[in-house]
Amino acid sequence: MALNLVVKIHPVVLFQIVDAYERRNADAHRVIGTLLGSAEKGVVEVTNCFCVPHKEYEDLVEAELNYAMDLFEMNLKVNKQESIVGWWATGNEVTSHSSVIHEYYSRECSNPVHMTLDTTLQGSHMGIKAYLNVPLGVPGGKQGNMFTPIPVEIVTYEPEIVALRHCQKTVQLKKGIEPVSDLAQIGEAAEKLTGLLDAVLQYVEDVLAGRVPPDNAVGRQLLDMVHSVPAITPEMFENMFNSNIKDLLMVVTLCQLTKTQLQLNEKLTLLTSM
């Protein structure tokens, strides 16, 4: 069994787990569910999940496995690229019932991953851990299993980054905010990029002036960043930027026209039905 796996989790999975925990029954101490995604080349990417109703007692655990398989088959009709890669549970540790649940998922996929999300907020943060179930023992002797931790990373698609930034704006507000347009997002990104460039330039000037001791690691990162920028003239960059802006404006215009057309069609339908 390979222990060099890396689990990459998308933010939507964490939101779904927290939502399932908030909607749990009053007598439920934790919630479990199925992890969906893909596994290849030592990377398990978790892109979706769902909750599996269950009950835990001192000496046994009951889970609605038929419900879990029905839900997976329905999800498979929508997204055939997502398969079962493991299971999740809320809490900050592996319990005595985890081996029983893990045994079921071992029949559904190869090397299932077990992920825990600490909804109790121990240490003032929501800890995320992932495990692989590793067999222990000697040949011919008694066999056992152990949950071994593996690395966990949070990865995002570009639309997810936009959604996370939008959610971040609502943290300090008591009421919701309206989604910004694409042009507004470009303006915010350009303003943030300008601030980051000013901070980098200030750091370089402080190092050259001797006000800040140089850091070789930062210098190598800055060199890699400079080499990653394509060597184009300001005129070429301006033409490319203007061309992309025109494409964006065309898409925005078509979206507005489509929205207006749908609104007119809805009103005409209401008038003809009266």
Q: Is the pLDDT of residue 266 over 70?
A: yes
For the ranges 24-28, 87-91, 181-185, the maximum mean pLDDT occurs at: 87-91
Give tens-digit pLDDT for 97-116.
888 888 888 888 888 999 99
Which pLDDT belongs to residue 177? 58
pLDDT at 37: 92
What's the pLDDT at 36?
Answer: 94
- Kindly tell me if the per-residue pLDDT of 174 is higher than 60: no
Pairing of strands 152-154, 6-9: parallel
Q: What local confidence, expressed as pLDDT, does residue 83 receive?
A: 92
Q: What is the model's pTM?
A: 0.64
pLDDT of 116 reads 92
Lowest pLDDT segment from 87-96, 127-136, 162-171, 245-254: 162-171
Q: Of 183 and 226, which is predicted with more confidence?
A: 226
Q: What is the mean pLDDT of the chain?
A: 83
